[in-house]
Chain A
C-alpha cells in the first residue's frame, strides 16, 4: 500500500502515519510505502526517521516543495507514480482578530488553507481518475459548518474545501475512487498533552487518527466527523435559526 501524506509534519498527518505504521505487522510491513510531503525537509526527515523505527521494514520517502506553487505541486504529484491513498492535511488555524486587522494574514490564510489543498486535491483526483482507483481524504474542520464571528476566516476556507470535496465525491460516485472530507472537532495540540489533566473537550490526536485511518481504509465516501459526537453537535449548530445564533457568543 502506497500512502502519500501532504503536510506529514502536522499533528494529525503524523498521527495518521503512525497509526498506519502500527497497523502493519512486521511480516506485512514491506508492503507499506510512505511518501511524506511538506515544506520543511528537516522536519519531514524527523517524521520519516520516527516512522522507520516504528515500521523498520516499510519504505519511507520525503519530498519537500513549495506547497503554494501550482507547478511544483503538479510535478510532485505526477512524480508519485502509482498511489493507493492520499491524505491532505495542511492548514493553519488563522487568528481571526489578526485576519480582520491585517490583510497579509488574511491572504496567507487563503493561500495555505484554500489554494494549497485545492491544488493537491485536483492533481491527485486526476491521478486517481487515470488509475481508475484510489482513496483521497482531505482534512476539513467543524469550523466550516457555519461561519462564526470568532473564526470565520479559518472556517470559510474549510467550508470551501467541504464543497470542493462534495463535488469530487459526486464526480467519482460510480467509480472505485473514494473521496472523504474529514471534520475533526477541536483536537489536542502537543502543548495540551503535557497537562496532567488535559481539558476533556479536546480529542486526542491518536483517537482522531485512528478513526481517520479506519474510515479511509474502508473506502468511506462523503464526510467523517471525528470524534463522532461532533456530528450531533454541528447538526444543532447548523440548524439554529439565525435570530438565535446571532445572539450567541461562539
Chain B
C-alpha cells in the first residue's frame, strides 16, 4: 500500500500499486476487489485514484514497438511517455499531432482522458489520431480495437476514463514536422470580447492558440493571446524575434513537501500581475523550441507542491460559443468576488470536429481551466457556483480533471452515459466512477 495521489495532491486513502506485464494478466480473475489502470498519475482529480483498491500501473510497459516513416504510424506500449515520443521523433522529423500541457503523461493515459492541446481547433483531440489499440479485459479477452474492428469498444475506450479495460498498446499517427521550432506570437488583450476577436481572426491561419487570462483583481479578464505555427526547415531569425530555446529539462524543482500553501491571495495577485507584464513586455513574434512552447510548466518539476499538503483543484469547463462571452465574464466575476484567484487560468476556443470518443469532454465552444488551492468548503462552494453558471449555459465540466462535481452536473455534461456503461469492465472502477457513475 502506498500513498499514491493524483497531480492535485488532495488527501486520499491508501491504494496498492501493481505492475502490469505485457499481457496485463493481472486484470484477469479480479473478482470483487476493484482495480484501475494507472498511467503516470498526471490527472489532477480522482480519475486515476482507487482508494482502498488496486492500481494496475503501465510503468513497465515503456517500449516502442514499431514506426513507419511512410505513414507516420507509431505503435508503442501503454506506458511510453509523450515526452519520450517527442524526444525520439523530433530529430526524425515527426511529432505528436496533439499534446497536453505536460509531457509526463503516458500514451494510454492520453487516450483514456482523450486529452487535447493548443491545437484543438485545427487537429481535434488525441483520440482523433489513434488508429488502433489493444485492450485487455477482466474476462481475459484481449481485443484489437479500431475503426474497423470492435469499433464500439474503441469509441468507448477513447475518453473512457480507464473504465473499459487495460490498454496494453496503441497505434497513433504522428505528424511530419520540418523542425522542432515554432514561430509564435503573443498579443495582450483587455477583455473576453477581445480574446474572442483574436480567436476568430487566428483560427484559420494558426495551428496553435491558447490564452492566459487574469482572474484576480485588478484588471480581471485581461490576458495574453499566444498563437503559433510550426517553423519551416530554415526559419529566419531576425532582430525582432526572441529565441526561446530548449531549457535543461526539469532543472528546477520544488524539492520538498510543504505543510502549508504558498498560494494565497497576495501571491496569486502578484503572479497574475507579473505574468501579464512579463508577457506584455515581450509581446510580438518569437521563435520557440517546442519544449518551452508546449510544456512551460515542465521546466519546474513537482510544481504541484507549492499548494502544500492540502492540494488543489483544477476546474475545466466548456461553454457554447453563442453567449459565451457573458458566461465567461460571469465566471471571472464570481472568482474575483470570492477572493480565491487562480494562478494559471487558461482560456481557449475548441473547434467543431466531432469528438473521437463516446465520453470525450471536448466539444465546440470556449474552455476555461483554473487551478484553486484547496481551502476546504470555501473552495467547494466556489466550484459549485461555477457549476451552476456552466449548467445554465448548457456547458460541461471535465471529469478527467475533476474531484468534486455532483452527479447532476456530470449527467448534464454527458449524453451518452447509458450507452457507455454497456462497455465498462465490471472489475474496474475508480474514485471518480463510484462518485459519478454509481459504481
Chain A residues proximal to chain B, CB less than 8 Å: 22, 25-26, 46-47, 49-50, 53-54, 56, 190-191, 193-197, 200
Interface size class of B (residues with CB under 8 A): 35 or more
Q: Which residue of A lies closest to B22 (CB)?
A: A46
Q: Is B38 an interface residue (CB 8 A)?
A: yes
B47 CB, min distance to chain A CBs, angstroms: 13
A46–B76 alpha-carbon span in the complex (Å) = 11
A191–B63 alpha-carbon span in the complex (Å) = 15
Q: Is B368 an interface residue (CB 8 A)?
A: no
Q: Are A190 and B60 in contact (CB under 8 A)?
A: yes
A193–B104 alpha-carbon span in the complex (Å) = 11
A65–B257 alpha-carbon span in the complex (Å) = 47
Work out how many contacts link A and B, with CB atoms closer than 8 A: 64
The residues of A that contact B304 with a CB separation of less than 8 Å are 196
Interface centre among A25, A50, A197 (most CB of B within 10 A): A197
A77–B90 alpha-carbon span in the complex (Å) = 36
Q: Are B88 and A53 in contact (CB under 8 A)?
A: yes
Q: Are B40 and A194 in contact (CB under 8 A)?
A: yes
The residues of B that contact A195 with a CB separation of less than 8 Å are 2, 4, 41
The residues of A that contact B67 with a CB separation of less than 8 Å are 53, 56
Known interface pairs A196-B4, A196-B5; 12 further A-B residue pairs with C-beta atoms within 8 A, sorted by A's residue number: A46-B22, A50-B65, A53-B67, A53-B88, A54-B88, A56-B67, A56-B69, A194-B38, A194-B57, A194-B59, A196-B6, A196-B41
Given contacts A47-B63, A53-B64, A196-B41, contact A191 B4 (CB under 8 A): no
Q: Is B255 an interface residue (CB 8 A)?
A: yes
A34 CB, min distance to chain B CBs, angstroms: 15
A49–B65 alpha-carbon span in the complex (Å) = 6
Q: Are B91 and A25 in contact (CB under 8 A)?
A: yes
Q: Which of B5, B63, B65, B255 contacts A200 (CB 8 A)?
A: B255
Q: Is B62 an interface residue (CB 8 A)?
A: yes
A177–B67 alpha-carbon span in the complex (Å) = 37
Interface centre among A22, A25, A49, A53 (most CB of B within 10 A): A53
Q: Are B59 and A196 in contact (CB under 8 A)?
A: no
Q: Are B66 and A194 in contact (CB under 8 A)?
A: no
User: Which parts of B79-108 form the interface with A (CB within 8 Å)?
Assistant: 87-88, 91-92
Q: Are A49 and B59 in contact (CB under 8 A)?
A: no
The residues of A that contact B58 with a CB separation of less than 8 Å are 194
A selection of 21 A-B contacts at a CB cut-off of 8 Å is A22-B88, A46-B22, A47-B63, A50-B64, A53-B65, A53-B76, A56-B92, A190-B59, A190-B60, A190-B62, A191-B17, A191-B19, A191-B57, A191-B59, A194-B38, A194-B39, A194-B41, A194-B58, A196-B40, A196-B41, A197-B305
Q: Which residue of B lies closest to A49 (CB)?
A: B65
Q: Is B42 an interface residue (CB 8 A)?
A: yes
Interface centre among B55, B62, B76, B305 (most CB of A within 10 A): B62
The residues of B that contact A22 with a CB separation of less than 8 Å are 87-88
A237–B19 alpha-carbon span in the complex (Å) = 33
Q: Are B64 and A54 in contact (CB under 8 A)?
A: yes
Question: Which 3 pairs, one residue from A and one from B, show the smallest C-beta to C-beta distance?
Answer: A53-B64, A194-B59, A50-B63
A56 CB, min distance to chain B CBs, angstroms: 7
A195–B60 alpha-carbon span in the complex (Å) = 13
A56–B19 alpha-carbon span in the complex (Å) = 29
A47–B66 alpha-carbon span in the complex (Å) = 11
A56–B88 alpha-carbon span in the complex (Å) = 11
The residues of B that contact A196 with a CB separation of less than 8 Å are 4-7, 9, 40-42, 304
A49–B63 alpha-carbon span in the complex (Å) = 8
A47–B60 alpha-carbon span in the complex (Å) = 12
The residues of B that contact A50 with a CB separation of less than 8 Å are 63-65
The residues of A that contact B41 with a CB separation of less than 8 Å are 194-196
Interface membership of chain B positions 40-63, coded 1 if the CB is closer than 8 angstroms to chain A and 0 otherwise: 111000000000000101111011
A197–B5 alpha-carbon span in the complex (Å) = 9
A193–B19 alpha-carbon span in the complex (Å) = 11
Q: Is B321 an interface residue (CB 8 A)?
A: no
Q: Are B91 and A26 in contact (CB under 8 A)?
A: yes
Q: Which of A26, A190, A200 contacts B92 (CB 8 A)?
A: A26
Q: Is B302 an interface residue (CB 8 A)?
A: yes
B7 CB, min distance to chain A CBs, angstroms: 6
A25–B92 alpha-carbon span in the complex (Å) = 9
B234 CB, min distance to chain A CBs, angstroms: 18
B171 CB, min distance to chain A CBs, angstroms: 13
A200–B302 alpha-carbon span in the complex (Å) = 11
Interface centre among B6, B63, B257 (most CB of A within 10 A): B63
A191 CB, min distance to chain B CBs, angstroms: 5
Q: Are A197 and B302 in contact (CB under 8 A)?
A: yes
Q: Are B5 and A194 in contact (CB under 8 A)?
A: no
A187–B91 alpha-carbon span in the complex (Å) = 29
